[in-house]
Amino acid sequence: MKGKFLLLCFCISLKLFAQNDTTIKKDTAIVDISNEIDSTKWASGEERPALKVFYGQRLINAKTVEVLRKGVMAFTVIHNFGDIAGNAGGIKNFFGLDVPSDAQIGFQIGLGNRLNLLLQHTVGSGPIAHFYEAGLKYQFMRQEPNGLPFSLTTYANVVSTAQKVDTANGREASFISSSDRLSELLQLMIARRFGSISLQLSATFLHTNYVIPGDQNNLFAIGGAIRLPITKRFVIISDYFHSFRSDESIDFWKNNGVTPKDVFGIGIEILTQGHVFHMNFTNARNILENRFLTRTTESWGKGQFRWGFTLTRNFILFRNKKTSSNK
């Protein structure tokens, strides 16, 4: 199943990259994501220049404060491979490239200049798979030159799994009711761009409706992210998450022979017109926040990190009639 999903992702992404952006007329062209200043029509009708703190909706594992303008849709494909080194890596698995770990396909739609809708499907890694995510992303503030000093965005989602029920007791998939399949995440992101360097902090609260006895339903995590340009088109990106677990949860996992780890990722961002490409390295197997915050046990020190990639393509889904009439 994972192989079929990965093949579909590659076919779609190759089709997208095969398009020639220069053949698109100016009035319907995809917004050039490499622009330094983005002029957004706000509700007041005033054109105010807004600074791009980040150039994409996601870094390695973390979402960013950025939102799409009204009528723009982002199509994203993400894939993580297996361990590069350690006991499960090395040449026998071609340094992880022979082992698909997780994959995600998703859409983000600008319902308004500040409000976005996210619809995503994630294969998953571990005893539970087949996740369906619906989320809303809202930007309260956006950093402006000589104006607002930072950007502030919130994200909330609901995730359900289509995993078959495990009839054994005390398993992750030992669901009793439909609500046991759900988890909910609330995240508040604050970011600022200092010259060409961008920094972000992400406060995250995750509630999982059903957990293994001994684990915790509620989890708070704090994340950090940085974007460091090398050239105009090549950028170093990195993010990190620390989850605050209860002593009972830590002891539970240790008694089962594993130790939860913080999530760290580093990679390269490559910018083109209409596309963002990320080459990622992370110790997280899972792509979905609702999973990697609670289920990351791999260690960088043991070689348990993997290569992955993120492909994003922006489209004009519909046009703002008010903005078009003012031109």
pLDDT tens column, 187-246: 999 999 999 999 999 999 999 999 888 889 999 999 999 999 999 889 999 999 999 998
Residue 323 reports pLDDT greater than 60: no
pLDDT of the residue at 34: 37
The encoded tokens of residue 154 equal 């919130």
Residue spans of alpha helices (H) in 85-209: none
Q: Of 110-119, 224-233, 267-276, where does mean pLDDT reach its minimum?
A: 267-276
pLDDT of the residue at 51: 80
The dihedrals phi and psi of 301, each to the nearest 5 degrees, come to: -65, -25
pLDDT tens column, 84-110: 887 777 787 787 787 888 899 999 999
Summarize the confidence of residues 260-286 as an average pLDDT. 89
pLDDT of the residue at 28: 34
pTM: 0.81
Contact in structure between 289 and 124 (CB atoms under 8 Å): no
Residue matched to tokens 């089962």: 256
Q: Which residue has the higher pLDDT, 180 or 95?
A: 180
The gap between the terminal CA atoms of the chain, to the nearest Å, is 49
Q: How confident is the model at residue 65 (pLDDT cuts 50, 70, 90)?
A: very high
pLDDT tens column, 299-310: 888 888 899 999
What is 2-18+39-165+174-325's CATH superfamily? monomeric porin ompg (2.40.160.40)
Percent of the chain whose predicted confidence (pLDDT) is above 90? 50
Contact in structure between 122 and 288 (CB atoms under 8 Å): yes
Summarize the confidence of residues 262-275 as an average pLDDT. 88
Residue 38 reports pLDDT greater than 50: no
Contact in structure between 50 and 40 (CB atoms under 8 Å): yes
Integer Cα distance of 209 and 227 in angstroms: 34
The encoded tokens of residue 196 equal 């060409």
pLDDT of the residue at 193: 94
Contact in structure between 76 and 58 (CB atoms under 8 Å): yes
Contact in structure between 264 and 248 (CB atoms under 8 Å): no
At residue 250, the 3 state secondary structure works out as helix
pLDDT of the residue at 200: 97
The encoded tokens of residue 139 equal 């930007």
Residue 23 reports pLDDT greater than 80: no
Q: What is the largest CA-CA distance in the chain?
A: 65
DSSP string, 80-121: EEEESSSTT-SGGGTTTTTSEEEEEEEEEEESSSSEEEEEEE
pLDDT of the residue at 303: 84
The encoded tokens of residue 170 equal 């005390």
pLDDT of the residue at 276: 83
